[in-house]
Amino acid sequence: MSVSAPSPASTREQEPRELARARRALVDHPLLMLGLILVLLVAACTIVKSSYLSGDQAGAILRYAAPLAIMAAGQTLVMLTAGIDLSMGATATAAAYVMAGQSSHGTVSAILYGLAVGLAVGLVNGIGVGIFRVQPLIMTLGIAGVVTGLLTVRAASNRTAGQNVPHFVRQVGGEPLVGFIPNSLILWIVLSVVVIVGLRRSGYGRMLYAYGDNPMAMRLAGVRSWQLLTVTYTLCGLLAAVAGIVLAGLINAADLGLADSFLLPSVAAVVLGGTSLFGGVGTYSGTIMGALILTVLDSFLTLLNADDSIRQILYGLIILALAALYARVQRSA
Amino acid sequence: MSTMSQAAPSPSPSPSRPRNVKLRRFAARQGWTVGVLGILIALLIVEANVAPNFTSFDVQSLVIAGMPLAFAAMAQAVVVISRGVDLSVGSVMALTNVIAARLMEHHSMGTALGISLLVLVIGMVIGTLTGVAVVTTGVPDIIVTLALGFVWAGVALVVLPTPGGGSPPSYQTLSSGSSLWQWTPNGLLVLAAAYALVWVPLRSRRLGLAIYAVGSDRDAAYLSGVRVPRTRILAYTVGGLFAALGGLALTSTTSIGSPLSGNFYTLTSVAAVVIGGVSLAGGKGGLVGPMLAAFILSAAVTVLTFLGADANYGQVIQGALIVAMVMLGGLLLRRREA
């Protein structure tokens, strides 16, 4: 309902020209707006703690942002088709857990096992959504329950089995390459380039946007949308597995609640990054900014040294405020 | 939605036309609910046969286990019918649960009932706030309620950092006792009363119709004079009321308050709503289906444990059940359309 547009022409003209131009720039380039929010958050952190701006801190932010952003990459793909994947947390945890359990077979096969878990879960989701046309929310929610349950059963039955995060995975997840730049940043950059270029240049990417924009038109144009959806959810599962493995390397443990707390932030990162929940609109670069903002926000709340309760309240309110601000700027366009 | 037509009674022997039409209309409107009820009854029959000795106690424990989820499903259903989704249901339940448990400790039944009324008002206020946030910010429901879910969960931790509090023993019999007849646990009566007192009067009045109208087509509703933002807010208000009832049910069934008690209910309520025949696209379904679906989800686990399955498989079974039922329903619907 475009009721809340109080005669835009009159207010616009009264604004100084520079301000109007700045506003226009923000609306036209959402990334600029997100960057501004990020800078403001970092500034807030610096006010609380003057030594915040340091290489160590940047390294910590990047280390924690990497798994979130990799997970959010999968979420972005799925959301471009107007879907959602609520099984990513469970999938990431399962992949990391299986990887750690297979570490005695060598690093390579351990990682492959972990990725296979992600592939399998993603494929099941894709078949459910693509072929049986179950609503994505329900399909992935149900599968999340199945995966978590199976993992619990497995953990209960072989508690003695060696759970061990391979050295290589720890290096990737937690250790720096040079200075404060973590290894996981390299992986993240590589994946980002693949996703961004893939979305822009490949036929798959263009089909993804087209499907999200108008699924019926795609079907009428002869595109086998079930294939598109199956591939997309499979990729999403795979990215969840990568995120889970990186996270296990960062924490140096793979317990049963490893990635649960990353699920909802992965959705929030995508939406903050400007991807529409209704599909067809959005970019991965926006999602990256969303993930960075959420991670810096998290570190800000840690700096405040508040109780968990206050942290949660602030986290929720700030996400809501950012989303509202973003929606307002977008609407004024 | 006459998909589960096997559950609908076959046309009566005297094929008088109006009755036939009425019946068909009933099947079209309530077919799904009847089907869900059929599944629940089938589950109960299986349970009666596999349980060592099936008594009214088993029915009672089923009601105790399913009651909070049933309220959560009703809360979610009202919001989903208005084409929203409320990912803060679990947090609101936890918050109302801890408020009730904290205030009721060491008090009499009369005071506890007064406190319950207060908690219901709190639930409605929370729901209204959520609705206002959704309508005024223009941010999708899912994000607003997700963010507010964090907020309410945080507030619940402020109210009661660790599980504690209490409730008078007679308050617990509101869910666990069976004062009327041993086969009708009080919890079931409370659920029925909440449905009859809140939703039945609302459903056929202006507000209820407006909620359905807003859910099925916002523009059409706007053009026919429905105040869309107000209706959406009120849908969240009613949802908040049911969520608070869910929180009170938690207080009654567990006898204490726990700030983390709600986590399970948020997403499971969405599943119950969809299994119960409410479309996530809004405007379709009712509250009985989700309520029954909540009991199916909790009864299935009990039945399978009786059958000798590992208790740890509970979550697996629930997840698989959610997917299977929605898949089956989708296939039946599509066959009918084809």
Q: By mean pLDDT, which of A87-101, A128-142, A262-276, A317-331 is the weakest?
A: A317-331
The residue type at B285: G
Identify which of B138, B149, B313 has the shortest CB distance to residue A331: B138
Give the per-residue pLDDT at A1. Answer: 41
> Tens digits of per-residue pLDDT, B248-286?
999 999 888 888 888 889 888 998 998 888 888 888 888
Is A208 or B29 the better-scoring residue by pLDDT? A208
A151 contact partners, CB below 8 Å, separation of at least 6: A90, A93, A94, A97, A256
Identify which of A141, A156, A320 has the shortest CB distance to residue B322: A141
CA distance A199 to chain B (A): 24
Residues B2, B28 contacting (CB under 8 angstroms): yes
- Cα(A330)–Cα(B140) distance, integer angstroms: 13
Identify which of B142, B155, B323 has the shortest CB distance to residue A143: B323
> Tens digits of per-residue pLDDT, B48-62?
887 777 777 778 888
Q: Is A6 left (phi over 0), alpha (psi -120 to 50) or beta?
A: beta
Between chains, do B323 and A144 touch, taking CB under 8 Å as contact? no
Q: What is the mean pLDDT of residues A67-92?
A: 94
Q: Nearest CA to B96 among B155, B12, B49, B171? A: B155
CA distance A72 to chain B (A): 15
Does the pLDDT of residue B3 top 50, yes or no? Answer: no
Cβ atoms within 10 Å of A326's Cβ, excluding its own: 22
Residues A33, A329 contacting (CB under 8 angstroms): yes
Between chains, do B319 and A146 touch, taking CB under 8 Å as contact? yes
- Domains located in chain B, CATH noted: 57-337 (1.10.3470)
Structure tokens at A70: 């990799």
Residues A118, A239 contacting (CB under 8 angstroms): yes
Q: Nearest 5°: phi and psi at B182?
A: -65, -25
Give the per-residue pLDDT at B45. Answer: 86
Between chains, do B312 and A149 touch, taking CB under 8 Å as contact? yes
Does the pLDDT of residue A5 top 50, yes or no? Answer: no
- Cα(A161)–Cα(A172) distance, integer angstroms: 24
Does the pLDDT of residue B157 top 80, yes or no? Answer: yes
Q: What is the mean pLDDT of residues B27-56?
A: 81
Between chains, do B319 and A134 touch, taking CB under 8 Å as contact? no
Number of residues that make up chain A = 333
Is A2 or B23 the better-scoring residue by pLDDT? B23
SS3 B184: strand
Give the per-residue pLDDT at B108. Answer: 86
Does the pLDDT of residue B14 top 70, yes or no? Answer: no
Q: What residues in B contact A277, CB-CB < 8 Å?
A: 140, 142-143
Does the pLDDT of residue A318 top 70, yes or no? Answer: yes
Give the pLDDT band of residue B16 (cuts 50, 70, 90).
Answer: low
Does the pLDDT of residue B247 top 90, yes or no? Answer: yes
CA distance A170 to chain B (A): 31
Give the pLDDT band of residue B11 (cuts 50, 70, 90).
Answer: very low
Q: What residues in A contact B319, CB-CB < 8 Å?
A: 141-149
Give the pLDDT band of residue B19 (cuts 50, 70, 90).
Answer: low
- Cα(B219)–Cα(B228) distance, integer angstroms: 9
Residues of chain A with pLDDT > 90, as a percent, come to 39
Find where tokens 């459903």 sit.
B203
Give pTM, 2 decimals.
0.83
Q: Nearest CA to A39 among A47, B137, A180, A67? A: A47
CA distance A55 to chain B (A): 31
Between chains, do B271 and A142 touch, taking CB under 8 Å as contact? yes
Residues B100, B94 contacting (CB under 8 angstroms): no
- Cα(A213)–Cα(B86) distance, integer angstroms: 25
CA distance B216 to chain A (A): 16
Does the pLDDT of residue A123 top 80, yes or no? Answer: yes
CA distance B50 to chain A (A): 23
Q: What residues in B contact A159, CB-CB < 8 Å?
A: none
- Cα(A208)–Cα(A198) distance, integer angstroms: 10
Between chains, do A137 and B270 touch, taking CB under 8 Å as contact? yes
Chain B: residue nearest A131 by CA? Answer: B327
Does the pLDDT of residue B337 top 60, yes or no? Answer: no
Give the per-residue pLDDT at B333. Answer: 66
Residue B64 CB-density burial (10 A; 0-12 exposed, 13-18 middle, 19+ buried) = buried
Identify which of A141, A268, A311 has the shortest CB distance to residue B271: A141
* Number of Cβ pairs < 8 A linking chain A and chain B: 149
Chosen from A87, A121, A131, A134 to mutate, greatest number of chain B CBs within 10 A: A134
CA distance B86 to chain A (A): 13
CA distance A52 to chain B (A): 26
Q: What residues in B contact A271, CB-CB < 8 Å?
A: 140, 143
Between chains, do A142 and B137 touch, taking CB under 8 Å as contact? no
Between chains, do B147 and A146 touch, taking CB under 8 Å as contact? no
Q: By mean pLDDT, which of A6-20, A25-39, A115-129 is the weakest?
A: A6-20
Between chains, do A150 and B139 touch, taking CB under 8 Å as contact? no
Q: What is the mean pLDDT of residues B231-252?
A: 95
Identify which of B138, B150, B313 has the shortest CB distance to residue A153: B313
Chosen from A159, A233, A317, A319 to mutate, greatest number of chain B CBs within 10 A: A319
Q: What is the mean pLDDT of residues A199-221?
A: 90
The DSSP result for B87-136, as a single string, is: TTHHHHHHHHHHHHHHHHTT--HHHHHHHHHHHHHHHHHHHHHHHHHHHH
Give the pLDDT band of residue A6 (cuts 50, 70, 90).
Answer: very low
Q: What residues in B contact A128, CB-CB < 8 Å?
A: 323, 327
Does the pLDDT of residue B331 top 80, yes or no? Answer: no
Is ipTM over 0.85? no
CA distance B83 to chain A (A): 13
Residues A326, A272 contacting (CB under 8 angstroms): yes
Chain A: residue nearest B297 by CA? Answer: A142
- DSSP type of residue B205: S
A203-213 vs A225-251: helix crossing angle, rounded to 10: 110
Q: Nearest 5°: phi and psi at A178?
A: -135, 140
Identify which of A86, A137, A313 has the shortest CB distance to residue B154: A313
> Tens digits of per-residue pLDDT, A241-298?
999 999 999 988 888 888 888 988 899 899 888 888 888 888 999 999 999 999 999 8
Chain B: residue nearest A260 by CA? Answer: B263
- Cα(B250)–Cα(B150) distance, integer angstroms: 20
Query: How far apart, in Å, are the Cα atoms of B307 and each of B43, B51, B297, B302?
Result: 12, 8, 16, 9
Identify which of B150, B314, B322 has the shortest CB distance to residue A312: B150
Q: What residues in A contact B334, CB-CB < 8 Å?
A: 133
Give the per-residue pLDDT at A162. Answer: 61
Between chains, do A323 and B323 touch, taking CB under 8 Å as contact? no
CA distance B153 to chain A (A): 7
Between chains, do B313 and A149 touch, taking CB under 8 Å as contact? yes
Residues A266, A88 contacting (CB under 8 angstroms): yes
Between chains, do A135 and B319 touch, taking CB under 8 Å as contact? no
- Domains located in chain A, CATH noted: 17-331 (1.10.3470)
Cα B283 off chain centre by: 17
Does the pLDDT of residue B1 top 50, yes or no? Answer: no
